[in-house]
């Protein structure tokens, strides 16, 4: 009798512990492979590691060094230019397409499918396609010349100051469909009654969009910009394929800088320091966002 009771008791204990046991491996994996590894990278960034890891602690020296490297400055400046234009371009195009698609278009489904398919592609594929289209010898330049404008030049891809804009072109092409999907979802969530009332009051359609609809999409704008910023900071594959960071290192981004220092030039500590800088950039954007999102949910 007593043992039966005890086994029931034990079963109850197991029953309450079971959920914890089930998620425990994931929890451990998260703590080790995400947070532990971040600390590990932080540690590497404060050592003298070059080709091989070394455990001589040098504090923040590598960070000061990093910010004196010209190539890092180029990468950061490129990120600002690329990120800014990428976010601006995607948002503008995405919003524009969403508004136009929201006018009771008959072939909306087909159009949406077309606008969104680039998102299913790897950046490597996108890069390959645009590398071909933008190449000065046989790409757009030749096309326009054959059309009769024989002095036309379009060699951004191999020009130091312009290469980063090629990355912008390809990235906007790939990602604006995503923004469109976000805005379209937002537009579908707006109450028709408000708009009808404005129409009854005699407001014109562009005015309704400017004064009522677009302002009410503010939360969507907010999340979109955050996600795009996050994509921009992590951008890696597209640059590697399209320009290989070149000419020289003219179109480097922090992600390609990090790869190059950590994996090809064998400067582990510097690679780790640049990775940490990327991490801080992302966190500076994401943490306030997640905080406000979670709070909004709680009070909603």
Partner 1 sequence: MLETGRSRRRMDPQRLLIYGVLLIFALYFLLPLVVMLMTSVKTMDEIRMGNLISLPRHPTMEPWIKAWDYATIGVTNEGIKGFFWNSIRMVVPAVLISTLIGAVNGYVLSKWRFKGSDTFFAMLLLGCFIPFQVILLPMARTLGLLGLAESFWGLVFVHTIYGLAFTTLFFRNYYVAVPDELVKAARIDGAGFFRIFMRIMLPISKPIFMVTIIWQTTQIWNDFLFGVCFSTGETQPVTVALNNLVNTSSSVKEYNVDMAGAIIAALPTLFVYFVAGKYFVRGLTAGAVKG
Residues 51-70 that bind partner 1 (CB under 8 A): 53
Whether the bond between 198 and the residue before it is cis, its omega within 30 degrees of 0, is no
Among 223, 266, 284, 288, binds partner 1 (CB under 8 A): 223
Which x/- pattern over 119-158 shows residues binding partner 1 (rule: CB under 8 A)?
Answer: xxxxxxxxxxxxxxx----xxx-xx--x------------
Q: Taking the CB of residue 59, how many other CB atoms lie within 10 A of it?
A: 9
Nearer CB in complex with partner 1: 20/218: 20
Q: Tell which positions 224-263 bind partner 1, by CB under 8 A.
A: 224, 227, 230, 233-234, 236-237, 240-241, 244, 254-255, 258-259, 262-263
- Report how far residue 276's alpha carbon sits from residue 289's, in angstroms, rounded to the nearest whole number: 20
Is 205 one of the binding residues for partner 1 (CB under 8 A)?
A: yes
Q: Contact with partner 1 (CB under 8 A): which of 118, 154, 250, 251?
A: 118
One of 6, 9, 13, 35 touching partner 1 (CB under 8 A): 35
Closer of 66 and 275 to partner 1 (Cβ): 275
Nearer to partner 1 among residue 88 and residue 173 (C-beta): 173
Pairwise CA distance, residues 118 & 173, whole Å: 8
The Cα 12–Cα 30 span in angstroms is: 28
The residues in 265-284 that bind partner 1, with binding defined as CB under 8 A, are 268, 271-272, 274-276, 278-279, 281-283
Question: Which residue lies nearer to partner 1 by CB, 81 or 140?
Answer: 140
Distance CA 79, CA 236 (A): 11
Whether 231 contacts 85, CB under 8 Å: no
Helix (H) or strand (E) holding 48: none
Minimum CB separation of residue 67 from partner 1 in Å reads: 17
Instruction: Using the minimum distance from each CB to partner 1, give the nearer residue, 164 or 224.
Output: 224
Q: Which of 182, 217, 250, 270 binds partner 1 (CB under 8 A)?
A: 182
Report the Cα–Cα distance between both ends of the chain, in Å, rounded: 51
Q: How far apart are CA 284 and CA 229, in angstroms?
A: 11
222 binds partner 1 (CB under 8 A): no
Distance CA 110, CA 12 (A): 55
> Which residues, other chains included, contact 208 with Cβ-Cβ below 8 Å and sequence gap of 6+?
195, 198, 199
CB of 210 vs partner 1, minimal distance in Å: 14
Taking the C-alpha atoms of residue 167 and residue 59, their distance in angstroms, rounded to an integer, is 36
Residue with Cβ nearer partner 1 (53 or 162): 53
């Amino acid at each position: 009798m007593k043992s039966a009771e005890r086994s029931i008791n034990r079963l109850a204990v197991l029953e309450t512990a079971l959920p914890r046991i089930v998620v425990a491996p994931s929890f451990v994996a998260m703590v080790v492979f995400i947070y532990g590894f971040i600390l590990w990278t932080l540690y590497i960034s404060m050592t003298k590691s070059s080709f091989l890891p070394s455990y001589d602690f040098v504090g923040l020296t590598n960070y000061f060094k990093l910010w004196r490297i010209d190539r890092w400055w180029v990468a950061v400046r490129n990120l600002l230019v690329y990120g800014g234009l990428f976010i601006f371009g995607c948002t503008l195009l995405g919003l524009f397409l969403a508004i136009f698609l929201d006018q009771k278009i008959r072939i909306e489904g087909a159009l949406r499918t077309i606008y969104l398919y680039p998102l299913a592609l790897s950046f490597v594929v996108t890069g390959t396609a645009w590398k071909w289209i933008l190449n000065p010898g046989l790409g757009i330049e030749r096309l326009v010349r054959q059309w009769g404008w024989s002095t036309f030049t379009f060699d951004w891809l191999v020009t130091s100051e312009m290469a980063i804009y090629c990355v912008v072109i390809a990235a906007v092409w790939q990602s604006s469909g995503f923004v469109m999907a976000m805005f379209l979802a937002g537009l579908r969530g707006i109450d028709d009654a408000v708009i009808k009332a404005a129409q009854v009051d005699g407001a014109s359609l562009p005015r309704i969009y400017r004064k009522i609809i677009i302002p009410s999409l503010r939360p969507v704008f907010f999340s979109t910009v955050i996600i795009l910023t996050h994509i921009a900071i992590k951008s890696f594959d597209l640059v590697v394929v399209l320009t290989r960071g070149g000419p020289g290192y003219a179109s480097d981004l922090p992600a390609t800088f990090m790869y190059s220092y950590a994996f090809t030039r064998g400067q582990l500590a510097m690679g780790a320091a640049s990775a940490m800088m990327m991490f801080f950039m992302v966190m500076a954007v994401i943490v306030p966002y997640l905080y406000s999102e979670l709070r909004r949910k709680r009070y909603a």
